[in-house]
Structure formats: C-alpha cells, structure tokens
C-alpha cells in the first residue's frame, strides 16, 4: 500500500471516530519529541548506538539543554510531562524490577501515587462543580491537601456529615482531550506498524489500542469505577484474603467518587511489612490465589494492580489481608475465554504440551494447518527451562523473547480481548518477585485451578448447570404441547427427509445425555442415603 493510501486511511479514521485530526496528531508528536529531547531521553536510547553518529547529531540539535539531573529522574519527569498514558506505561514498568536498573525502578515507582497534584483551589472548584455547593457544605471535614496523586485523579481525606471517615477521589480536569490526542497518535503508529511491518497483521496493533482505549475512557467516569468497586466487594465478601472499601453512593458523581477510608502499608514497602510481622511468603501466595479467583471464578478482575493501588492491613483482625484501591481499570472475561485459559494453564502445569498445542489450534489462535507435533516441540522448548524454578531464577526478558519468536514462527495471533489480562499478569509476577523471590508461581496456582476445573466440569458443575437451567425449563415445558401442535400442523419443508434424519440423530444424543444425568442423580441420591 502506498504512503498516500496510508494517509487517506489515517484521515478517514480521524473523521469516522471523532478523534483529533492528522495535523493535531503531528503537533502532539512534535511535543513528544520536544519533551524527549528536553529531558535527554534520546541519550538514554542512543548511548549504545554502535557508530555514535545519531547521538552526536542529537546533541547538536539539542545543544541548549542542561542535563544535570540523573537519567532516572529525567525519565520520570518526562513521563509526567507527557501525560496519563505515558505515566501508566511507567507504572507498569515500575513493577518489573528484574528488567530495570534499580535507580530507574525506584524513580518510576513514584508514578504510582506521587504524580504532581493539581492545586487545592482547583480541587475545591471541582467539588463545587460536582455538587453545586462548596466542600464545606458537603463534608463535615475536607482536607484540601491530597494524600495521593496519580495520572487520572487524586485523593483527599474527608469526613462525612454522619462522622464516617472517607476518601474522596477527584478526576483531573480536561483529561478526556489529553487522552484522546494520545490515543489518536497511538492508532496512527499502530496503522503504520500493521501496514509496514511483516508481523503487523498478526500482532493486531490497532485492535490492541482500541481495546486499551475502552478501559482508559471508562476510567474517566468515576461512577463506573464506583460500580466496579461495589462488584469486587461483593465478589470477595467475607474473604480472608482481600478487603474492598465500601462505596458511599450518595456522594458519588461522574467526576467525584467517595468511599470508605482504608489504612495499611503499601505493598511495595516490604521492609515495613516485615517489621509489622506480616509473612511475605504467605502474602505472595495469597496474591496468586486472589488473582486466579478474580480471573477464573468471577471473570471480573482488577487490571491495574501496581503497588500504588494495593495496601496490606497491618493491625486488627484482618492483619495481613490485601486492601484493593483504585478500580478505574477492571476487565472481564467471557465463559469461553475462562474455560480456554483454564484448560491451557492446567495442561501447562501438567507439562502436557501436546494439549496446549491442540487447544491453540482448535481455538483458532494458531492457523488450522499448523503442524501439531512441531508446535508442541516449540512450546516445550519455551516452557521447560522455567518449570520448578522460583521467580528469582527466571530471566523474564529471555522468556518473552522466546515466546515472541515462537508465536512468529507459527503465526499465532494476538488476542486483543486478553491484553489487559496479560498486562495484569506482568504486574502480578513483578509483585511476586518483590514479596517472595523464591515463590514457585506454577505450584502455587495449580491446586486452585484444579479445584476450579473440578467444580466446573465435575458433579458440582452438573448440579450448578441444572439449577441455572431449571427456571428456563419451567417456562418452556408448559409451551411444548402448543409448539408441537404448530410444528405438526405446518406443511413440511422441501428438505423434510434430511431434517427428519438430523432431528432423530439429535434426539438420540439428547436421550443419551438425559439418561446419563438421570444416572448421576440416582447415584447421588444413593450416596446421600447410604452415607451416615
């Protein structure tokens, strides 16, 4: 495709989606280059360039700048200056201390809850705009100095008129236009990657950006975040592993969210956790179970689990319990995705690489003509080196490289609907390394998944399916005589003999299934009678 064709597609995309125009994207790109140059990010990228010519040219172009601050500090400041999408990228990287130098990881960790806040006066103005009256008339107490500030919003402490302690989250002003510009630019890059790179279509960059953009825009509606919080709280009600704050709905709007104030130690502060007497190994195992419970049991998971969003209770009955915060990015999985992933994980845990290969081919992730035996051997080569190893002994960068090479060789397609799950897995694995480098992620997760699969496919799953279908049967059964009369009265279609043959075959299968269910129920009744 010619460049003029690409330009036409970009322009058409802008008009169709209502995103900023092509010229606006160029201006945004110019700003990104300017900020990168001002903070010396080019030197960080080009310092290992073999010839040194590009680095010399960059220094000539940006001769006016002063780079006195350490490189890690300059990187953090540049990401803060560039806006929320870049801050979120820094947050995700901050959990991967195995991939980053210590000084850079420490600086990026400040992006989790120490982004420069907007002014107290602006915060009070946002409160008044949301409620139509000043903060002094809404809350019994309101601290205008924020306790935490991140890329999308900042948090203030307050007290409700009835005396309850609350945390008030206020959306940053003008976020929608900033995010729209950056997403439009990402879409442009994605289109170029898809058009000009041979792996572009397989990696589906535009679909990935579109999926990511849905979650970002959802994050700009704090009523949606409050609903996410309430759902997660119901899912873990009574759980000894995770506490979720209560939402105070009477004080929530699309730009302000008010919830129960929580206290604890940030999960990234491992020394404080150890001093408080919290077992870090147990905490890491609980984190794995919480994650798999959200993904497989509920199909509803917190997809922004960097250390700035997680506390650990350090006192009282719930000491050592996780406390979840910030529910702007919550993702869901369909039943089909959950079952597919669970089967893949279990086959992986059992080192049944043939089943992993079959599942990929059956689901359409790998092309239909893929050689199953070759694919199996390639998966084995990636997975075997990391089995029975603690996290500290796994070089994650090498694993990613091998996975990418394998997916390219067998033309495995990216699944955009699972992008947030993959991002969350990166966060979880990074947190696990900080809490317990000796954690064996596979052995910790396997019992949970085996139990879940047993509940889904064993006799408990059958009983659950019957209880779910019973209301439908109750509605359908009384209608059967009328439906049968209508069917018998209607003239037969031209392909009646073929349809009759298929109907008889289907009925036989259903009869066998009903006989199996009846036998299982009878066996259960006998067991209940015989057991003391």
Catalytic residues: 304
Q: What angle do CA 150, 151, 152 make, to 5 degrees?
A: 100
- Report d(CA 92, CA 423) in Å as an integer: 8
Q: DSSP states of 312-327 as a string?
A: E--SSTTTT-EEE---
Distances (CA, A) of 206 to 186, 213, 485: 8, 10, 52
Residue 55 makes CB contacts below 8 A (sequence gap 6+) with 42, 43, 46, 47, 49
Give CA separation, 524 vs 244, 324, 453, in Å: 38, 41, 20
Taking the CA atoms of residue 392, residue 393, residue 397 and residue 403 in that order, the dihedral angle to the nearest 10 degrees is -120
* Strands 300-302 vs 330-332: parallel, antiparallel or unpaired: antiparallel
Q: CA 253 to CA 463: how far, in whole Å?
A: 42
Token pair for 450: 């085996």
What count of Cα atoms within 13 Å lies in the side-chain half-sphere of residue 224? Answer: 13
* CA distances, 117 to each of 113, 141, 157, 180, 406 (Å): 10, 20, 14, 21, 44
What DSSP line would sit under 207-272, residue for residue? HHHHHHHHHHHHHT-HHHHHHHHHHHHHHTTT-SSEE-PPB-GGG--SSEEEEE----EETT-HHH
Query: What b/e readout covers 254-290, taking b as 16+ CB neighbours within 10 angstroms?
Result: ebbbbbbbbebbbbbebeebeebebebeebbbbbbbb
Using H for helix, E for strand and C for coil, what is the string for 11-49? HHHHHHHCCCCHHHHHHHHHHHHHHHHHCCHHHHHHCCC
- Rounded Cα–Cα distance for residues 255 and 174 (Å): 11
Counting runs of H as helices and runs of E as strands, what totals does the chain give? Answer: 24, 11
Angle (nearest 5°) at CA 36 between 38 and 78: 85
Both tokens of 441, joined, read 């992620």
Structure-block tokens of residue 110: 């400040």
CA 242 from chain centre, in angstroms, equals: 18
Q: Where are the beta strands (DSSP E) in 97-147?
A: 141-142
């Amino acid at each position: 495709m010619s460049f003029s064709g690409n330009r036409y597609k970009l322009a058409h995309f802008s008009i169709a989606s209502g995103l900023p125009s092509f010229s606006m994207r160029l201006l945004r790109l110019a700003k990104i280059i300017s900020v990168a140059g001002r903070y010396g990010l080019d030197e960080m990228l080009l310092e290992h360039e073999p010839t040194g010519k590009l680095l010399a040219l960059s220094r000539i172009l940006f001769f006016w700048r002063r780079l006195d601050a350490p490189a890690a500090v300059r990187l953090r400041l540049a990401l803060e200056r560039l806006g929320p999408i870049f801050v979120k990228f820094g947050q995700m990287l901050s959990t991967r201390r195995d991939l980053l130098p210590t000084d850079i990881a420490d600086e990026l960790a400040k992006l989790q809850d120490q982004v420069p806040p907007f002014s107290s006066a602006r915060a009070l103005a946002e409160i008044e705009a949301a409620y139509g009256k000043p903060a002094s008339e809404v809350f019994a107490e309101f601290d205008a100095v924020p306790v935490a500030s991140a890329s999308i919003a900042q948090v203030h402490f307050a007290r409700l008129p009835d005396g309850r302690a609350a945390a008030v989250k206020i959306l940053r002003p003008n976020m929608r236009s900033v995010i729209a510009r950056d997403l439009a630019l990402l879409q442009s890059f994605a289109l170029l990657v898809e058009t000009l790179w041979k792996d572009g279509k397989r990696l589906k960059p535009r679909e990935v950006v579109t999926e990511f953009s849905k979650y970002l825009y959802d994050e700009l509606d704090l009523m949606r975040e409050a609903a996410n919080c309430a759902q997660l709280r119901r899912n873990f009600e009574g759980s000894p592993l995770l506490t979720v704050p209560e939402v105070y709905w009477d004080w929530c709007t699309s730009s302000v969210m008010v919830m129960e104030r929580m206290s604890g130690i940030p999960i990234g502060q491992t020394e404080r956790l150890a001093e408080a007497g919290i077992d870090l190994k147990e905490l890491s195992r609980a984190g794995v179970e919480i994650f798999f419970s959200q993904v497989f049991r509920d199909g509803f998971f917190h997809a922004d689990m960097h250390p700035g969003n997680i506390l650990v209770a350090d006192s009282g009955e719930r000491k050592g319990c996780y406390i979840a915060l910030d529910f702007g990015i919550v993702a869901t999985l369909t039943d089909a995705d959950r079952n597919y992933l669970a089967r893949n994980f279990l086959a992986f845990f059992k080192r049944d690489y043939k089943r992993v290969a079959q599942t990929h081919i059956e689901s359409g992730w790998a092309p239909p003509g893929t050689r199953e035996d070759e694919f199996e051997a390639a998966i084995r080569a990636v997975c075997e080196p990391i089995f029975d190893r603690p996290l500290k002994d796994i070089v994650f960068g090498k694993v990613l490289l091998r996975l990418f090479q394998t997916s390219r060789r067998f033309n495995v397609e990216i699944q955009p609907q699972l992008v947030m799950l993959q991002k969350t897995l990166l966060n979880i694995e990074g947190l696990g390394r900080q809490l317990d480098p000796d954690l064996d992620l596979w052995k910790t997760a396997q019992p949970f998944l085996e139990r879940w699969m047993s509940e889904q496919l064993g006799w408990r799953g059958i009983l659950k399916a019957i209880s779910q279908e019973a209301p439908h049967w109750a509605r359908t059964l009384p209608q059967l005589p009328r439906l049968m009369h209508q069917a018998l009265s209607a003239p037969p279609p031209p392909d009646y003999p073929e349809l009759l043959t298929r109907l008889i075959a289907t009925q036989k299968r259903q009869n066998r299934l009903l006989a199996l269910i009846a036998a299982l129920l009878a066996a259960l009744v006998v067991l209940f009678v015989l057991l003391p």
